Structure 1
Amino acid sequence: MKYLFLLGAIMAEIAGAIATRQSNGFSKFWPSCIAVLGVVGAYFLLSLSLKNGMPLGVAYGIWAALGITLLALFGAFFFNEPLSVIQVAGIILIVGGVLALELGKTE
Structure 2
Amino acid sequence: MTVWLLLFGAILSEVTATLSLRGALDRPALYGVVVVGYALSFAFLALVLRRGMGLGVAYGIWAASGVVLTALLSALLFGEAFTLMKASGIVLIAAGVAVVELGSHRAGRATEAGAEVRA
Q: TM-score, length-normalised on structure 1?
A: 0.92
User: Which structure has the highest helix share of the two?
Assistant: 2
Q: Does residue 30 of structure 2 align to residue 54 of structure 1?
A: no
- AA of the residue aligned to 1:4: L
Cα offset, 1:83, TM superposition: 1.6
Output aligned runs, 1:5-84, within 5 Å. 5-24=6-25, 28-29=28-29, 31-84=30-83
Aligned amino acid, residue 22 of structure 1 = G
Structure 2, unmatched stretches of 5+, are: 109-119
C-alpha distance in 2, partners of 1:72/1:13?
13
**Structure-2 separation of matches of 1:67 and 1:3:** 15
Provide the C-alpha distance between the structure 2 equivalents of 1:55 and 1:40, rounded to a whole number of angstroms. 21
**Percentage of pairs with the same residue:** 38
Instruction: Name the count of aligned residue pairs.
Output: 105
TM-score normalized by structure 2?
A: 0.83
Letter in 1 for 2:59: Y
1:21 is aligned with what amino acid? Answer: R
**Structural RMSD (CA):** 1.3
Which has the bigger relative contact order, CA under 8 A and spacing at least 6?
A: 1
SS of residue in 2 equivalent to 1:90? helix
Runs of 4+ in structure 1 displaced over 3 angstroms?
none
> Which segments of 5 or more consecutive residues in structure 1 lack a partner in the other structure?
none
Larger CA Rg, structure 1 vs 2: 2
Quote how far apart the aligned CAs of 1:14 are: 0.7
Q: Shift of the alpha carbon at 1:66? A: 0.8
Distance in 2 separating the partners of 1:47 and 1:60:
10
